[in-house]
A and B are shown apart, each in its own frame.
Chain A
Amino acid sequence: MSEAQSAGRENHVCPVASTGVFSCISRLLLSHDRSLNDILDAILVEAMKAVEADRAFIALADYEHGELAVRFTAGEGWNEQNTALRLKVSQKTGKGITSHVAATGRPYRTGDVTTDPYYISHFDDVRSEVAVPVVNAYGRVEGVINMESARADAFSEQHEEFLLAVANLVALRILADQQEKRQAALVSLGRELARFSRSADVFRKVMDLVASAISFQDCSIFLLNPEENVLVLEASRGRLGEQVHQARYRVGEGITGWVAQNGKPVRTRDPRNDPRWRGLHEELAPETVGGLIAVPIMGYDRVLGVFRVLRRRSEYAWVPNDFTQDDEDFIVATASILGAVLDSFELVKRVIAAERMAAWGEMSARSAHMIGNRVFAIKGDLNELRHLSRQECSAEKLAPVIESLEKGIFRLEEILAEFREFVVATKLNTNPVSLNELLEEAVRESFPRNSGVRLELDLHPDLPLVEADASKLRRCFSELVENSINFQQEGGVLRVSTEPVDSDKDRIRIVFEDRGPGIPEENKKLIFRPFFSTRSKGMGLGLSIVKGIIDAHRGTIRETGEEGEGARFEIILPAITDTPDAAETKAERRDQTGD
Chain B
Amino acid sequence: MRILVVDDEEAVRTAVRRRLEREGHTVDEAENEADAAAKIQASDPSYDIVVTDMVMNSEQGGVEVLKSAVGRDIFTEVIVLTAYGNVANAVECMKLGAFDYVEKNIPGVDVYDLLAMKVEQALQRRRAALATLRRADQILKVTSRSAE
Contact = CB atoms under 8 A, between A and B. Distances in A.
Nearest to B53: A373
A404 B111 CA distance: 18
A372 B15 contact: no
A384 B84 contact: no
A591 to B, nearest CB: 69
Task: Kindly name the residue among A377, A387, A408 whose own CB sees the greatest number of chain B CB atoms within 10 A.
Answer: A377
Interface string B89-119: 0000000000000001100001111000000
A368 interface: yes
A381 interface: yes
Interface in A365-389: 365, 368-369, 372-377, 379-381, 383-384, 387
A374 B15 CA distance: 11
Contacts of A380: 11-12, 14-16, 18-19, 112
Task: Kindly name the residue among B15, B85, B104 whose own CB sees the greatest number of chain A CB atoms within 10 A.
Answer: B15
A384 B110 CA distance: 11
Interface string A142-164: 00000000000000000000000
Given A376-B15, A379-B112, 15 more contacts: A365-B85, A368-B85, A369-B83, A369-B85, A373-B104, A376-B12, A377-B9, A379-B15, A379-B110, A380-B12, A380-B15, A380-B18, A380-B19, A384-B19, A408-B11
A375 B105 contact: yes
Nearest to A380: B15
27 contacts: A365-B85, A368-B84, A369-B55, A369-B84, A372-B105, A373-B11, A373-B12, A373-B104, A376-B12, A376-B81, A376-B83, A376-B104, A377-B9, A377-B12, A379-B110, A380-B11, A380-B14, A380-B15, A380-B16, A380-B112, A383-B15, A383-B113, A404-B14, A404-B15, A407-B11, A408-B11, A411-B11
Contacts of A368: 83-85
Interface in A329-381: 365, 368-369, 372-377, 379-381
A146 to B, nearest CB: 87
B145 interface: no
A383 B84 contact: no
Contacts of B11: 373-374, 377, 380, 404, 407-408, 411
B97 to A, nearest CB: 25
Interface string A114-135: 0000000000000000000000
Contacts of A384: 15, 18-19
Nearest to A376: B104
Interface of B is mostly: helix
A91 B110 CA distance: 105
Given A372-B104, A383-B113, A377 B83 contact: no
Nearest to B55: A369
Interface of A is mostly: helix
Nearest to B9: A373
B84 A372 contact: yes
A369 B19 CA distance: 22
Contacts of B112: 379-380, 383
B83 A372 contact: yes
Please give me the 5 A-B residue pairs with the lowest Cβ-Cβ distance, nearest first: A380-B15, A377-B11, A376-B104, A383-B112, A372-B83
A381 B110 CA distance: 11
Contact of B111 (A379, A381, A407, A408): A379
A94 B16 CA distance: 111
Interface in A20-45: none
A369 B56 CA distance: 11
A375 B83 CA distance: 11
Contacts of A407: 11
Contacts of A408: 11
Contacts of B12: 373, 376-377, 380
Interface string B1-43: 0000000010110111011001000000000000000000000
Nearest to B16: A380
A529 to B, nearest CB: 14
Contact of B105 (A376, A387, A411): A376
Contacts of A373: 9, 11-12, 83, 104
B71 to A, nearest CB: 26
Contacts of B19: 380, 383-384
A368 B82 CA distance: 12
A377 to B, nearest CB: 4
A365 B55 CA distance: 13
A42 B16 CA distance: 95
Given A384-B15, A404-B11, A404-B14, A376 B111 contact: yes
A397 B22 CA distance: 13
Contacts of B81: 376
B18 to A, nearest CB: 6
Contacts of B110: 379, 383
A408 B12 CA distance: 10
Task: Kindly name the residue among A368, A383, A387, A407 whose own CB sees the greatest number of chain B CB atoms within 10 A.
Answer: A383
A177 B85 CA distance: 69
Contacts of A374: 11
A409 B79 CA distance: 27
B103 to A, nearest CB: 9
A368 B103 CA distance: 13
Task: Kindly name the residue among A369, A372, A373 whose own CB sees the greatest number of chain B CB atoms within 10 A.
Answer: A373
A200 B27 CA distance: 67
A372 B19 CA distance: 18
B15 A387 contact: no
A387 B104 contact: no
A383 B23 CA distance: 13
A379 B106 CA distance: 11
Interface in A386-432: 387, 404, 407-408, 411
Contacts of B9: 373, 377
Given A368-B84, A369-B83, A369-B84, A377 B15 contact: yes
A515 B104 CA distance: 41
Nearest to A383: B112
Contacts of B105: 372, 375-376
A376 B11 CA distance: 9
B45 to A, nearest CB: 28
Contacts of B111: 376, 379
